[in-house]
Amino acid sequence: MSVLKILCIVISIAYVASGSESGFCETPDECTENSRGCPGQSHFTGKRYILYNVNPAEGFNLRRDVYIRVAVFLRRLIERDKEYQWQLVLPPWGNLYHWQSRNIGSQERLSWGTFFDIASLQRYVPVMEMYTFMEEYSCGNREVQLDRLYILQNDEEMFKTGKFEDKNELVDCDRGSLRYHELEQHLYIGPFWGYHNVTVRDVKCLKFHGMAHDLSQNLMPMQYRSIMFDRMEIALHDEYGSKEYWRARRSMRYNSELYDIAEKYRKIFLNSTNVNDNTERPADWTKEKNRRNARGGPYLAVHLRRRDFIRAHKESVPTIMDTALQLQKRMDRLGLTLLFVATDAEQYEFEELKSYLPQYKVMKYVPSDYVINKFKDGGVAIIDQIICSYARYFIGTHESTFTFRIQEDREIIGFPLKTTFNKLCKTDEDCTIDGFWSIVW
């Protein structure tokens, strides 16, 4: 038995003797008959689990960005801490603002495998679905009790003064606005992704400002086996825009069936195939190479964001008529006659756009009943993004994370910069590009 394990057992005995209920009893990592008799989450193993959640108002594509922050944080943690087997538990998806389809069944507690290739993610860091974690962590017990939850909070004083500095400070929680409630000692309930059988033993509020890696001092793996961070969007990127950022981003391949659906649509409606378009990619993202010679299918793709953006970004969102004028100018310049539109616009707005562009074939993806019921609104949005990412030329919406993710995919595929970083302007007049979000290899 290692010195570390002996020390942990001694600490655990001291914990139990002092009246705490969070001591460890020694069992192997696998579930066994003996481990099933070990109280709740109290058995000693080498595995440590990190869970996280974000502000409920955040959308699908911002949440993808938060995943990269956590994944890079975990990878660095694994590199420097060999004592434990760190695992990242993927937070289920559910009930986001743009997921408004009805009559397609529940859009709660959706697994990451619905949208992403889990094996591809695991080539970067050890990740697991929530249902896998619940089975493994509780050894088949129905109730799952996490050890500690940190709720990250901004330091509002910094935003008032403009003087920002690193901060990692435990503070008293405002119980009136707390989303987690103590039923009894060492038992808190809360919005754990819609699961009612998940609780936590201890909740702490953490006034935080800094990079994600600064959270490592709060892990305490000799004491806690599972740690959850809520409001993880507050933590900043450790490696924003670096080679490591792009490695994590490249690992985020979509569910292979979503690629197949998009590829079939491109072939039938847009005369686009990977062979003809020079957009073939290796099955394994680690085998990708730096290039700038992707040609793309013979169509222009535009992401036309409407709905909340009309109000929130009215200074940059064009009218439908101005959108059509800008698209017509670009289509004529490129000599293209096929236009693919990814949009959250109402159908009457899409029809209005088409009416201004009668000389072009204007398309948008309409999912079959099979697709919408299996992959939900999130999967349909990804299909839109895939189709846009393979176009010969792409125009996005200013400050939209939906557009950002398409631009990243196009950078990974290997398109020339000038075909990717274009945006709709407020009017038909040319507007400046904000810059290039170039991939680093």
Which residues does the annotation mark as catalytic?
58
How is the beta sheet containing 198-200 ordered, strand by strand?
A: 144-146, 198-200, 187-189, 181-184
Q: CB of 129 within 8 A of CB of 112?
A: yes
Check: CB of residue 365 under 8 Å from CB of residue 383: yes
Whole-angstrom distance, CA of residue 71 vs CA of residue 93: 17
Classify residue 361 by its DSSP letter. E
Q: How far apart are CA 394 and CA 391, in angstroms?
A: 6
| CA of residue 354 relative to chain centroid, distance | 33
Identify any residues that bridge with 70 across adjacent strands, giving them in sequence order. Answer: none
d(C-alpha 297, C-alpha 303), whole Å: 16
The answer for residues whose C-beta is within 8 angstroms of residue 375's C-beta and 6 or more apart is: 114, 115, 255, 257, 258, 367, 382, 383
The two three-digit tokens of residue 281, written as one number? 């990619």
Q: What is the 3-state secondary structure (H, E, C) of 381-414?
A: HHHHHHHHHCEEEEEECCCCHHHHHHHHHHHHHC
Dist. CA 327–CA 336, nearest whole Å: 11
Give the position of tokens 């756009």. 353
Cα(168)–Cα(236) distance, rounded to whole angstroms? 13
Indicate the DSSP class of residue 253: P
40 to each of 21, 163, 262, 300, how far by Cα in Å? Answer: 10, 44, 45, 56
Contact at 8 Å (CB) between 33 and 206?
no
One-letter amino acid of 168 = N
**How distant, in Å, are the alpha carbons of 136, 245, 278, 404 from that of 65?**
27, 10, 28, 10
- The Cβ-side half-sphere exposure at 91, using a 13 Å CA radius, reads 25
Return the H-helix or E-strand segment holding 50. strand 47-52
